[in-house]
Amino acid sequence: MKLSEESLTPLYQQVMDDIKSDIESRHYPASGRIPSETELSQMYSVSRITIRRAVEELVQEGYLTKMQGRGTYVNPPKLERKICQESEMQSFTVTCQEAGRTAGAKLLRREVVDARPVEREFLGLPEGAKLIYIQRLRTADNIPIMLENNFFPYNGFQFLLDTNLENNSIFEISERGSGRKPEDDRLCTLEIVLANLETAAPLGVDIGAPLFFEHIEFLDGEKRPFFIGKQYIVGSLYVFNI
C-alpha cells in the first residue's frame, strides 16, 4: 500500500487514516488483531517509528488497545446515542454572525488526495477516485475555534482549487460553484478526542487538551451525497445546543 510522499499530510497521519478507515469498514473487525508493526511497516513501506506513532495515536483516540506480548487489537465500537435534529444546517460563519462575532478562515492545506473506501462508499465514487481536501483554521474574533477538514469529490468541484478560501463560508463557496448547498446529513457523530501535535498547534491548545471531533456526511437538498467534514473543535470554547 503506497502513501503519498508529496502530500502535506504527515506519513503517520496517512497510516492512521487508512487504519481507521479499515476499522470503520470492518476490514479489521472489533476485538480482532491488526498486523504487527513489522507487517504494517512492510505494507506501507515506511519505518516502524512511523507505524508506532500512528498506532499510538489510534490507541489514544480509543480505536485500538495494545496488549503486552499479544499484539494490538481493535476496540469494540463506541456506544452511540442517536439525537435527532430538525434544525437546518448552519455554517460556522452563520453561527458566529448570530453570536455577534466575526468569523475568520485561514487556509492551511489544499490538495488532491486518493478517496478511501468509506469515502467512496458515501460519495458513490469508483475505485481510484480523487478528492479535494481542504483544511482551514476557523476563528471567532481572531480566536482559534475549529480545525476544519473537508473532503469534496474532485469531479464537479475543481473550482475549489482556484477559489479564494480565506475568511469566507465553505457552504457559500460550494453553493456558488456547484449550484448545490448542504441541507441535511446522512451521518453526524460527535466524540471527545485528545489534541495531538497536528491539532494542538493550530488551535493554540496544549497536547492532550479535550477537543470535540465532529464527523459529518453532508447531503444536498435532494438527499444526494455532497461532501464530508471532519472538524476538531476546542472543547472549552464551543457549546452544541441540540
Residue 1: inside a domain, yes or no? no
Host H or E run for residue 166: none
**Is the same domain home to 224 and 117?**
yes
- Count up the domains in the chain and report the number: 2
Q: What is the dihedral of CA 3, 226, 80, 115, to 10 degrees?
A: -10
Judge whether 49 lies within some domain.
yes
Q: Are 96 and 196 part of one and the same domain? A: yes
Model pTM above 0.75: yes
Whether residue 62 sits in one domain with residue 98: no
Check residue 10 and give its pLDDT: 86
Query: Is residue 134 assigned to a domain?
Result: yes
Give me Rg for the CA atoms of the chain: 18
58 with 114, same domain: the answer is: no
pLDDT digits (tens, 9 = 90+) for 51-106: 999 999 899 888 899 998 899 999 887 655 555 555 567 788 888 888 888 999 99
Residue range(s) defining the domain that contains residue 16: 11-74
Which residues does the chain have with pLDDT short of 70? 1-2, 78-88, 241-242
